[in-house]
Amino acid sequence: MHNTAKVPKSTSSVEQAKSDIDDFGYCLIEDALEPTVVDAALSRLKEQAAAELELGAAFEDGGPRQQWGAFTDGKGRPRQQAYTAEAGGVNQRVWMLVNKGQIFCQILFTERVRDVVDHVLGDDYLLSSYSANIAKPGGVAMNLHTDQWWMPHPVNRAPSPVPVGSISRQRSNLEGDDPPQMIAPCVCVNVMWMLNEFSAENGGTLLVPGSHVRGRPPRPTDQEEALAAEGPAGTAMVFDGRLWHGTGANVSSQNRYGLLTTFCGPQFRPQENFTIGARSEMLADASPELLKLLGFKTWSGYGRVESPVAEFVSQDERSLGELRS
Ligand SMILES: O=C(O)CCC(=O)C(=O)O
């Protein structure tokens, strides 16, 4: 276990939060969301989650027989990943929240949180994914991981031991010294918005303070160093994409409701494909700032359809195709 005397405390100061995320890889912002916003988001989330379950479209993970990234057939052979109640799922994920309630889009623009994200990621970045994780009683602890497992580690002058296209969750291109001489920069930032109280009992996110600068992915034995992020409803935990973390086991009798908002540098591929998946009724009301987060604004010519100087793209824009004069 980590020395808890030296870990960040919940703060209302943006300056303190920036310093905490630099030093520990995460910060806790108190009362980031007003109680009315928490209530609105929680009731919309519960309604959506119940409807997805009823439809048979719910995605459930984290059961005793099921773990992210560690699916085997009992004989150690990998098997196809399935995230369902039948496969052992307990926790419920609700994806693509931008489409599932205006309140979720509003939360993206919470100023004190975005100030911290700006501090880490700089001027331009994208929304990578926006989902909820409802950690339910009986959910087991998720394997510790980083959110930028896909980011190549620095190499010396020899070719990378694993080509970039062969990097996977299980296979990084890391080799050499531990700790390494050089580490990758932070290229994504995650926000866990606590919609009810998070505690060690109800699956508060497990994390290893300071692990963002260790320069390697976590190993199973690193789980011993983890502590649980705790806080009342309305707290936002903002964390560095390199921080070792994962959902905790929920040994309480209540659901834990959290929203996860991941932002990534504009060079990288977001997890959720908003340019295809965003619904037109949501886009009709979207501000230029929201369109930018969703990847509809080009960045240095990237994300375009044809013209590299077009400022925005839209879902109905098509390439000119094969023409003849
Ligand atoms: O639910 C949590 O506490 C963390 C979830 C997480 O780490 C993930 O989905 O990658």
Say yes or no: domain 10-66+81-143+181-272 is CATH 3.40.1590.10: no
Ligand 1 geometric centre to CA of 240 (Å): 13
Ligand 1 geometric centre to CA of 324 (Å): 52
Residue nearest to atom 2 of ligand 1 (CA): 247
- Whether 218 is in the pocket of ligand 1, judged by its Cβ within 6 Å, is no
Q: Residue ranges of the domains in the chain?
A: 10-66+81-143+181-272
- Whether 258 is in the pocket of ligand 1, judged by its Cβ within 6 Å, is yes
Q: How far apart are CA 300 and CA 254, in angstroms?
A: 47
| Low-confidence stretches of the chain (pLDDT beneath 50) | none
pLDDT at 48: 98
- Whether 133 is in the pocket of ligand 1, judged by its Cβ within 6 Å, is yes
- pTM above the 0.85 mark? yes
pLDDT at 178: 86
